[in-house]
Structure 1
Amino acid sequence: MTQPPIDLASLSPELLRGKVAMVTGGGGGIGLATARMLMHAGARVVSVDLAGRSAAEGAESIECDLSDSAQVTRLFAAFDAAHKQLDMLVHAAGTTRDGVSWKMSDEDWRSVLSVNLDSAFFLARQAVPRMRSSGGGAIVLIASINGERGKFGQTNYAASKAGLIGLGRSLARETGKFGIRVNVISPGLIETEMTSGLPEVDRQRAIDETVLGAAGQPEDVAAVAMFLTSPLSRHVTGQVLRVDGGQLIA
């Protein structure tokens, strides 16, 4: 079973009116759903992704390898040329290279840590001064329940997502005095391109772990990201919010 899509027409276009958001991984999955949802709520969105992936209609698109510090620096220079402020950053870009630890290559380990975790640090290092100068902002990092519980065959992925949780909480402590809120979303099984290659037996096992009996949609995560970037969560920071259908309580 899979949850039905969320009707974006029900969102108020005034909630994020006048705000500017940067969304990574905006060419698909959770990033694309988040970009669309933030735009429906009134925000201007800059979608960041690798070459060849289309952004949400109406979003500005910038190509960038987020694992490269120099490219992230150039990304923000391009952003500054077009925008006077950065109010929200949602980091949804990520990758997997699964394999048991004793057979994992250095490249498979390093590439996943670099794309998933190093990128978040590079982005935050650029975003925080900009948000600080404009009086505050909101950062949301997309982790995973596998970063909380571990997962067979995903030592690299689980380590990178656990790192995002520690990074997010540390950033929240560092930046709260500047009016910047930092939170982490920890999804379970979400129907995306990344999870579409799962063997059916593994997919069904993950669904059976939930108490809702269903896989989530990218919009389920995007809705929480919208909440965490909006004034509705003005007193929420340093938190990890699970969007997992109850997988970790089942």
Structure 2
Amino acid sequence: MDERTAKLTLKNISKTFYDRQGEHPTIADVSFEVYDNEFLVILGPGLCGKTVLLNAVAGLERPTSGHVFLNGRELHGTDPTICMVFQKKAIFPWKTVMQNVEFGPKMRGVPKAERRKTAQKFIDLVGLQNFENSFPHELSGGMKQRVGIARAYANDPELLILDEPFGALDAQTRYSMQDEIIRIWKSEKKTIIFVTNNIEEALYLGDRIVLLSRQPASVKEIYSIGLPRPRDMLSADFLELREKISANMDITV
């Protein structure tokens, strides 16, 4: 039995959508735990239901059945201690980097001096110092994602969910951001759920990988990744795990 502390527990989560054409089951009886300070990766083929599952965790989508627990407390909607970073860069285009990052604390009524100090800490942490007064249209794609990550961390979340945040980036920027998110995670000791359909990315980042089936998504396997960090994508151990997971991953048709 794993004796680590469960930060998040999913029990028998299912989701079915209904329309004039009938029922559309998207998630089927998904159960797993996410441990405190863990970097957990959810891996699955495209359009298998990963985002719907994340939305259920974050309270943005009510599951048809099942339960979500955070620190042993059942959730029945959105929770301010859960933050999400999306693939689409959901930052305010009319606000500067500083204004975007301090937005959450501002909405909570944190005094200006305190929220500026917090925002500056995370702007520095993601490597955007000297860009505090820049607007999103003046930033690259990777820099915009850094703003989103800094904004999420400024809210001091219990759980940070990243929904394919690097999927729209070019390969070089994506590799760089993978290293950056690990560096930030090690620094801040937050529990992270990271979603991807890329096996190499999952293996490079995750403490464990929850492999989902094609839609309706169910848990096919949970892999504990014992590879030391930083990880070498060309090492024999990495390639062996990649082959093992690849052979078990459903192909979208």
TM-score normalised to the size of structure 2? 0.34
- Computing the radius of gyration over CA atoms, which structure comes out larger, 1 or 2? 2
User: Quick one: higher RCO (CA 8 Å, sep 6+), 1 or 2?
Assistant: 2
Q: Which has the higher helix share?
A: 1
